[in-house]
Amino acid sequence: MPFFLDIWGCIPEISKNCTDMTNASSTYLGVVMGVIIGGVVSWWIYNRQKRTSEQQDKILGRIVDLEKNHSDILKKLADFDDKHESSFDAIQELDRKIDILLKKDQDSK
């Protein structure tokens, strides 16, 4: 530790036997505290973003599942509509034939 203090100057807040260099020591102490606070804030932001991205991945997975179910339901509805359309066409054909038969019956009377 003395070698470190010799290079960077004396910090009276940390060591006891040194000449007071208030501006330099305050600067070094401020830099150290800034690094610590910056590290804590950076870790907090990283951790928060990580949790947020995990939640987003879960939500996107659920959306993909819902879209798959939605497309399956749409496919089933389209199949049902095709069957319904053919049944409806057959009913209309029967109605048309019944109308023709009724008209022939009325014309023959």
- Determine, yes or no, domain membership for 86: no
CA-nearest of 36, 4, 10 to 23 is 10
- Determine, yes or no, domain membership for 73: yes
- Determine, yes or no, domain membership for 109: no
What is the domain extent for residue 68? 2-81
Each residue's pLDDT, cut to its tens digit, for the chain (109 residues) gives 555 545 555 666 666 666 666 676 678 778 889 999 999 999 999 999 999 999 999 999 999 999 999 999 999 998 888 888 888 888 999 999 998 888 888 877 6
Q: Measured between alpha carbons, how far is 65 from 58 in angstroms, rounded to an integer?
A: 11
**Tally of domains in the chain:** 1
Q: Measured between alpha carbons, how far is 62 from 106 in angstroms, rounded to an integer?
A: 64
CB 18 within 8 A of CB 8: no
Q: Amino acid letter at 29?
A: L
From the number of C-beta atoms within 10 Å of its C-beta (0-12, 13-18, 19+), residue 60 rates as exposed
- Determine, yes or no, domain membership for 92: no
- Determine, yes or no, domain membership for 107: no
- Tokens representing 10? 């004396």
